Structure 1
């Protein structure tokens, strides 16, 4: 009897100590909520070794407008809420900065589904809620058995159930995918469903820019053009904030006013605030002198001059997702500008420029119409990826700049099955259907059969005798829409992408191929065999996370109780086994002759 009581107690102790600590539920938010969910899985230590995510969060904290409500969640194996929802003010900002060290308390796993659920708990949809999600990995839920299936099920619930539910509750999800290991297809899917921005930071150096891109969607600000470290302040600017990016080892920054006063972090002068970070300077100047200001020192890409002014450049809604080869209409106007009559020389010139990672993609000059609005459209959008749309109005007296971060994607998504037997196509642009779209597929000069599966889905069956080399399937969509016929080239799907050579015999750059090819659908993919080489790579990738998780677990006082319970349990099992051996009847062996 005593043995049974001890066994039961040991098991209960283990169960109770192993229970995760759940984040406390939050009350219902007010309008304009901004929520951050930051991945703290062990791989973040390798992909962001300089902890630039802390600088990114600090930048958000500094630039968030007063009186909105904001909070911070972290997620790995568990979901924590170190910064509860509160009204943004100086006291809230100080509290937010004090919790930044918790971003380096690494955990195992990446439970994105739980993070989305807990970070939006209590949201009922009365006002818009912005949720910013930073992660560097795939859906990786804790599971004792059948883990690949559980990961796929969690991913599917996020796309098919959770994201539509959050969109219905007026939650806009902006995602930042850090590194190529992140599930960018998943990030883009949930951002597009909720109307948010899907930003990709190839490495930690691009992380600050991604935070700023997302912030530009959450709380857009008027700007002044910054050219060669100079910017022109007009008499309608009430305050400006200079955000100047630089490298960690760059020299000091000096701000020179029109009357020659030199402002620095040691002698800020008329600046009401000067925050120094290893990666940026944030300088706020109220009631600035009109005229040309100059920045002396390194001025990195993405630096900008944010202003408060009664004269503002406005635009109609610009979606966070644009589609390649599809024209984007623009409608822009100025608020707070005195009427200038019909004299064209006194009217501002308004330009729109779309820039991507490789430079300018397309640009246009908007035309003024009778209602005072400037209208036009962007065409020739032939690049995909993250981009910035800059709208600028300029006269001899003033200039105003408004930027929007966007994600340019193909009009149709393609996914290759794991056994390379078929390609599934799905319309990403909602206006494409099987009735107005015809898809042509070509493999080495041979036309492949494309069959519709649903109103917005098609399937290509690939031949059995595929070549051993890496080859592309070229895709073109012919669309009949708005009394026009559009020929839209789609990104090719690479077959045998792991092959070392193409048909021409040239060595392939595998990273480049993988960057261009469409990711294989996880819904249709097949599980890969667990070879020794695969296990070794997985062990190498997960060792930092496992080690960090073990160190964190050993620092928890409960860990020693768990260890004690395990020792007691092992002793009891050994005692039980020994007693059974003693009670086992011994059989007499008959002697052989």
Structure 2
């Protein structure tokens, strides 16, 4: 009986432990190691980024790290986060490199989400860090490669993503460079409720990962004003995350004037980090005003552990500009030792504020009044005029203490319009993508005009429309405008998207001038088709309906699809003027193909050069023979026994001359 009771207790504890573990977070980091990372992440900041993830994940959560290119490698085994797991990340992260071939995103996600069909009671998050397009095909022709890459991309969006959403996965995508397939990356995040961000520079990588972690891990903070923050007696522990210049030293000053560095021997201080950031945890900290001695950084933060905890309602990862239900309400309340505080006399003394900001720019600030009936503080945000990554912070001042919670989110249009033109000159297109997951394609109509003239629209499925601009006249500038009308969730939808301008030799959006990308071997594309009225020096859209088939990580130059020559891209001319233009217009661009029409002139020039060289050699030979004969005749009639010194060089020839 006693033995049965012990077994029952042990089984109960095991079940309880399983339930506690199941309630935690499950985070999986997937890192691109394809060759193009040499350019987009030259300092390999993916290594400190992986380390920072390990440092900031709480004990008891589950996590793993994978790398991928064509194949997928489990860098750090998926398991329970503790000191041993963090040590393994520190060791294995050094193996992150940029030597992989291809970019097989679908295979990577399939491998990492092996348990998608398991009935698991936990929040599972996948963080995808990549700079490239779907690139897996090894076919011989550009057309076959594009078709295979597109099939993989379609399978990822139309088959695998819905399965992961049904399984409760949240995908967060971090695009390293704006040359990535932003449409794919954003769709993966938005349809699963995750956050999508773009690191235009490698130094943005760690701060953007921190924004994603704001959504993944609950973290209560105290305000950091400049480099100063206040710790109240209710705080049991705080952790300071401080970004700084490489190898800079951080000094922490306590309220009593003590100064601490990494070398300080203090049992209640735990230092960690690397050349770019420092993480210091202080247990049972002294109450009062603390100070950090290092240049201020906007992403520095102080997280705290306290019996008095601030909670907020959830905030969506994506907010859609112009959507009828655009108002977003946040609620805030407190718990003490796990129990919700309902003492009105205490809550009335608190001042709560909501701050909406984008980077360092404060967009909105408003009070959060105390709601007597609900025992919480609440306020709503209604203005989302700016696109991009943003944050909303709930800040509560209790006069003797302060707490804050920050949510990161992304503002997008319900529909995105992107102008696409292949770099080597191709058919200009406008790609329309439904970004709101509940937008029914049958419930929306588009009107796309070029200088006021309507353009044909083709629905390609999966919430994507394409506007082919092949009929535009050569040499003209076009103003492209997109409007949408319809219904979304039963409400009227009227959208006017930002205009775009198509110019000869350039493509640019009116509301934002994108940076001109630099060509690399891996990022070069061969366009599927070509329109001669646009010069090839263009800025391509980061959103492409078909992914790049960049094969140069493995193939040599001879295996690449030859680029089209300038001669092929010249506008058509009349027969009467063709001869005249040919006299004055010459193409000096490099010849990249044996099929180039200019090769005929190369052959002709080589033939003429050979004939000229042969003729010259024959004349020189005849002169040489004549001079040698004259010297021979002079020598025969010469009475001197010793030959002239100048004639010695011909003795050997004379001996070898069969006619002598």
Alignment TM-score > 0.5, same fold: yes
Q: Evaluate the alpha carbon distance shift between residue 514 and residue 262 of structure 1 in structure 2; reply closer, same or farther with a 3 A threshold.
A: farther
CA contact (8 A) 1:470 1:502 kept: no
Equivalences for 1:148-167 in 2 at 5 Å? 148-167=146-165
Residues in 1 aligned to 2:420 and 2:263: alpha-carbon distance in whole angstroms = 60
Q: Evaluate the alpha carbon distance shift between residue 90 and residue 441 of structure 1 in structure 2; reply closer, same or farther with a 3 A threshold.
A: same
Counterpart selection for 1:381 from 364, 384, 388: 384
* TM-score calculated relative to the size of structure 1: 0.75
CA drift at 1:403? 0.9
CA drift at 1:208? 0.7
Equivalences for 1:407-418 in 2 at 5 Å? 407-415=410-418
CA drift at 1:396? 1.4
CA drift at 1:270? 5.9
CA drift at 1:446? 5.2
**Paired position in structure 1 for 2:639:** none
CA contact (8 A) 2:444 2:484 kept: yes
Residues in 2 aligned to 1:46 and 1:298: alpha-carbon distance in whole angstroms = 28
Give the secondary-structure state (helix, strand or coil) at the position aligned to 1:302: coil
**Paired position in structure 2 for 1:393:** 396
> Residue 492 in 1 paired to residue 499 in 2?
yes
CA contact (8 A) 2:66 2:72 kept: yes
Counterpart selection for 2:56 from 35, 57, 63: 63
* TM-score calculated relative to the size of structure 2: 0.68
Residues in 1 aligned to 2:440 and 2:98: alpha-carbon distance in whole angstroms = 47
The answer to which of 201-210 and 138-147 deviates more is: 138-147
> Residue 115 in 1 paired to residue 108 in 2?
yes
Counterpart selection for 1:280 from 273, 277, 281: 277
CA drift at 1:404? 1.4
**Paired position in structure 2 for 1:562:** none
Give per-residue Cα distances to partners, 1:554-583, cap 9 Å, x unaligned.
xxxxxxxxxxxxxxxxxxxxxxxxxxxxxx
CA drift at 1:411? 1.1
Counterpart selection for 1:138 from 127, 133, 150: 133
Residues in 2 aligned to 1:357 and 1:474: alpha-carbon distance in whole angstroms = 30
Residues in 2 aligned to 1:187 and 1:216: alpha-carbon distance in whole angstroms = 19
CA contact (8 A) 2:194 2:317 kept: yes
CA drift at 1:433? 4.9
Equivalenced residue count is 501
Give per-residue Cα distances to partners, 1:300-342, cap 9 Å, x unaligned.
2200001111222222221111112342322312222655536
**Paired position in structure 2 for 1:168:** 166
Residues in 2 aligned to 1:188 and 1:531: alpha-carbon distance in whole angstroms = 31
> Residue 511 in 1 paired to residue 534 in 2?
no
CA contact (8 A) 2:180 2:542 kept: no
The answer to which of 361-370 and 155-164 deviates more is: 361-370
Counterpart selection for 2:241 from 225, 240, 243: 243
CA contact (8 A) 2:455 2:467 kept: yes
CA contact (8 A) 2:179 2:542 kept: no
**Paired position in structure 2 for 1:223:** 221
Counterpart selection for 1:87 from 80, 90, 97: 80
CA drift at 1:80? 0.9
> Residue 531 in 1 paired to residue 563 in 2?
yes
Give the secondary-structure state (helix, strand or coil) at the position aligned to 1:114: helix
Give the secondary-structure state (helix, strand or coil) at the position aligned to 1:387: strand
> Residue 289 in 1 paired to residue 286 in 2?
yes
The answer to which of 196-205 and 96-105 deviates more is: 96-105
The answer to which of 418-427 and 91-100 deviates more is: 418-427
CA drift at 1:389? 1.9
Q: Evaluate the alpha carbon distance shift between residue 424 and residue 46 of structure 1 in structure 2; reply closer, same or farther with a 3 A threshold.
A: closer
> Residue 473 in 1 paired to residue 480 in 2?
yes
CA drift at 1:491? 2.6
RMSD over aligned CA atoms reads 3.7
> Residue 522 in 1 paired to residue 546 in 2?
yes
Residues in 2 aligned to 1:158 and 1:69: alpha-carbon distance in whole angstroms = 25
Residues in 2 aligned to 1:449 and 1:150: alpha-carbon distance in whole angstroms = 27
**Paired position in structure 1 for 2:357:** 355
Note the residue ranges of structure 2 that are not aligned, 5 or more in a row. Answer: 1-20, 518-536, 550-559, 567-588, 593-660
CA drift at 1:185? 1.2
Q: Evaluate the alpha carbon distance shift between residue 225 and residue 364 of structure 1 in structure 2; reply closer, same or farther with a 3 A threshold.
A: same
Counterpart selection for 2:68 from 54, 75, 90: 75
CA contact (8 A) 1:420 1:495 kept: no
Equivalences for 1:436-447 in 2 at 5 Å? 439=446, 441-445=448-452
Q: Evaluate the alpha carbon distance shift between residue 88 and residue 430 of structure 1 in structure 2; reply closer, same or farther with a 3 A threshold.
A: closer
Q: Evaluate the alpha carbon distance shift between residue 316 and residue 59 of structure 1 in structure 2; reply closer, same or farther with a 3 A threshold.
A: same
Give per-residue Cα distances to partners, 1:431-472, cap 9 Å, x unaligned.
555787665545435566879999977776769344635533
Q: Evaluate the alpha carbon distance shift between residue 304 and residue 197 of structure 1 in structure 2; reply closer, same or farther with a 3 A threshold.
A: same
CA drift at 1:382? 1.1
Note the residue ranges of structure 1 that are not aligned, 5 or more in a row. Answer: 1-28, 540-593
